[in-house]
Amino acid sequence: MTDFDDFVNAQGPSLLRFAYLLTGDAHQAEDIVQEALARAHLRWRQIDSYDVPQAYVRKVVLRQYLSWRRRRSSSEIAVAAVPDRVDEAHVADRIADRQQLSILLAGLPKMQRAVIVLRYFEDRGDEDIAQLLGCAPATVRSHAARGLNRLRAAMPTLNLSMEV
């Protein structure tokens, strides 16, 4: 049996990174992970008996994000701060691309954003994503296609393929 504190120490950074990719905001990502871990702690004995407890907790984080996005005001927009000074031009371009992608991701509908993050940042397949989101694999592909089309229209240099 894994101690909950050991689990949090081992998986916390990964869960926080996942939540950040979903939200685009470090503070909201922390809130989501904190709430997910609080919920997981209440059922830790049962969760720890699963083959892959981190997959279950990751799903709790995803559900918290989807629930949080429903409650969030649609007028809020996540904006990344531009650094004051960057020494190398290629580093500045990469930072600008990341910031633009972050802003564009924030503008996607919640399901499209979740699918894009799960597929391209978490490297999950359609079946796995469909199971996590409670929908059909065809719906996952539809959300991915629509999300990618919106991202590519706004950022033609985006290098994400539609292959799984």
Q: With cut-offs at 50, 70 and 90, classify the pLDDT of residue 144.
A: very high
* CA–CA dist 133, 91 (Å, integer): 35
pTM above 0.75, yes or no: no
Q: How far is CA 71 from CA 40, 64, 93, 119, in A?
A: 21, 11, 34, 24
Q: With cut-offs at 50, 70 and 90, classify the pLDDT of residue 115.
A: very high
pLDDT > 90: percent of the chain: 50
89-154 CATH pick, 1.10.40.60, 1.10.10.10, 3.20.20.120, 3.40.50.720: 1.10.10.10
What would the pLDDT profile of 127-143 be if each residue is shown by its tens digit? 999 999 999 999 999 99
Domain ranges of the chain: 4-71, 89-154
How high is the pLDDT of residue 75? 46
Alpha-carbon torsion, ordered 102, 103, 105, 110, to 10 deg: 130
